[in-house]
């Protein structure tokens, strides 16, 4: 019996050692799966460093003459929207799909959404609840005077620029569209929080609505079954988004194209992925690379 016990122990130890060797070998043969790169920019406007998650398309070579469109993504942290939006960009740019041109994606990592994505509000309760809010003018200046020039000087870009924003990011993208429409030529605005400051942005005058705009500008506005807004006097986000689309459709400029997309099977939490997929299909002409 003692001999059997000793034999069992030896067999157990041999299996344990063998298992550890297999595990070690497996670990040594693994390597990171790299989706993009992490860059950063020191912003004098914001007085802070900002992290940028960058996706470079297949075949990108800093030394050749090929240039690429740039898609700027708000809420672009790795644990926010960067990974799945990059997946949509990559998929839609496969040569057998050929919906979107190979593009650089710049994910702007979030620091303080309320601060960066909102303009000053007249609602006292919101001022008190969100004390850092109302600084979108600084974030706009950061994008215009620091971020875009940095990306253009550091990467192989062309003049095709898209911005994607959802919720408060959609509010900010709408503010850019109305106040600085030439910063981007494509706007993908999803579930915009137009309720901010009791919907005052819907009354914003804009060059977008006149014949002064000279740049071709394409706009996608997507909204799901959002429900009532977190305001003292409830608003309906679907209605606000539709009002925005109708306002833009009334422009005197023949340079502006707007598409309104209602997704009743999606809500505020689920809409992002499907809406961006729809936007790529609607905003880009098919077979663009042929």
Give the residue from 193, 253, 192, 243 showing the smallest Cα distance to 218: 253
pLDDT digits (tens, 9 = 90+) for 239-251: 999 999 999 998 8
273, 265 Cβ separation under 8 angstroms: no
Q: Specify whether 152 is located in the same domain as 235.
A: yes
**CA–CA separation, 194 vs 240, rounded Å?**
6
Does residue 289 lie in a domain region? no
* Sequence-ordered strand ranges (E) for 109-250: 157-166, 186-190, 217-224
Mean pLDDT of 272-286: 92
Tell me: do 3 and 110 sit in the same domain: no
Evaluate if residue 190 carries a pLDDT over 90.
Answer: yes
Same domain as 48, residue 20: no
Residue 200 lies in a domain: yes
132 and 48, same structural domain?
A: yes
Q: Could you tell me if residue 288 is inside a domain?
A: no
What is the pLDDT at residue 43?
97
Q: Which residues touch 137 (CB under 8 Å, ≥6 apart)?
A: 119
> What is the tens place of the pLDDT at every residue in 144-187?
999 999 999 999 999 999 999 999 999 999 999 999 999 999 99
Q: Indicate whether 4 and 142 sit together in one domain.
A: no
Q: Are residues 7 and 43 in the same domain?
A: no
Q: What is the span of the domain harbouring residue 8?
A: 1-31
**Tokens 């707007």 -> residue:** 258
Q: Are residues 167 and 24 in the same domain?
A: no
5 and 109 inside one domain = no
pLDDT recorded at residue 286: 67
Domain count, the chain: 2
127 membership: H or E segment, kind and range = helix 124-129
Identify the pLDDT of residue 62: 92
> Do the domain assignments include residue 96?
yes
Residues 236 and 255 in one domain: yes
10 and 95 in a single domain? The answer is no
Mean pLDDT of all residues in the chain? 89
| CB neighbour class for 124 (10 Å; exposed up to 12, middle 13-18, buried from 19) | exposed
pLDDT tens digits along 33-75: 888 999 999 999 999 999 999 999 999 999 999 999 999 999 9
Per-residue confidence (pLDDT) for residue 135, from 0 to 100: 97
Which range has highest mean pLDDT (4-13, 133-142, 249-258)? 133-142
Residues in the chain: 290
Q: Are residues 225 and 197 part of one domain? A: yes
Nearest to 67 by CA among 172, 156, 171, 137: 156
Q: Is residue 290 part of a domain?
A: no
Q: Would you say residue 165 lies in a domain?
A: yes
User: CA separation (Å) from 97 to 88, 92, 102?
Assistant: 11, 6, 11
Regarding whether 256 and 144 lie in a shared domain, the answer is: yes
Q: What's the rounded mean pLDDT across residues 122-129?
A: 91
Instruction: Report whether 52 contacts 105 (CB < 8 A).
Output: no
Indicate whether 10 pLDDT > 80. no
The answer to whether 208 touches 178, Cβ cutoff 8 Å, is: yes
- Residue 268: strand, helix, or coil: coil
The reply to whether 74 falls in a domain is yes
Q: Let me know if residue 82 belongs to a domain.
A: yes
Encoded tokens for 60: 């990108």
CATH number at residue 64: 3.40.50.1820
What's the whole-model pTM score?
Answer: 0.88
């Amino acid at each position: 019996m003692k001999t059997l016990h000793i034999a069992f122990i030896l067999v157990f130890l041999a299996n344990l050692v063998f298992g550890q060797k297999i595990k070690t070998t497996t670990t040594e043969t693994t390597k990171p799966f790299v989706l993009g790169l992490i860059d950063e920019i020191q912003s004098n406007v914001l007085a802070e460093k900002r992290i940028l998650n960058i996706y470079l398309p297949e075949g990108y070579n800093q030394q050749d003459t090929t240039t690429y469109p740039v898609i700027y993504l708000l809420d672009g942290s790795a644990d926010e929207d960067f990974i799945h939006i990059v997946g949509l960009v990559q998929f839609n740019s496969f040569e057998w799909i050929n919906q979107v041109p190979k593009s650089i994606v710049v994910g702007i990592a979030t620091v303080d959404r309320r601060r960066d994505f909102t303009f000053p509000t007249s609602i006292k309760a919101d001022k008190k609840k969100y004390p850092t809010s109302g600084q979108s003018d600084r974030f706009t200046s950061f994008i215009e005077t620091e971020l875009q020039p940095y990306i253009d000087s550091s990467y192989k870009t062309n003049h095709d620029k898209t911005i994607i924003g959802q919720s408060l990011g959609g509010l900010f993208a709408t503010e850019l569209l109305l106040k600085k429409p030439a910063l981007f030529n494509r706007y993908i605005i999803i579930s915009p929080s137009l309720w901010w400051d009791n919907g005052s942005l819907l009354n914003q005058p804009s060059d977008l609505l006149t014949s002064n705009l000279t740049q071709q500008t394409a706009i996608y506005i997507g909204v799901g079954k959002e429900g009532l807004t977190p305001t003292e006097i409830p608003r309906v986000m679907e209605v606000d988004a539709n009002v925005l689309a109708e306002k833009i459709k009334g422009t005197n400029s023949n340079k502006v194209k707007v598409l309104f997309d209602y997704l009743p099977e999606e809500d505020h939490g689920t809409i992002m992925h499907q809406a961006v997929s729809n936007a790529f299909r609607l905003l880009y002409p098919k077979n663009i690379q042929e």
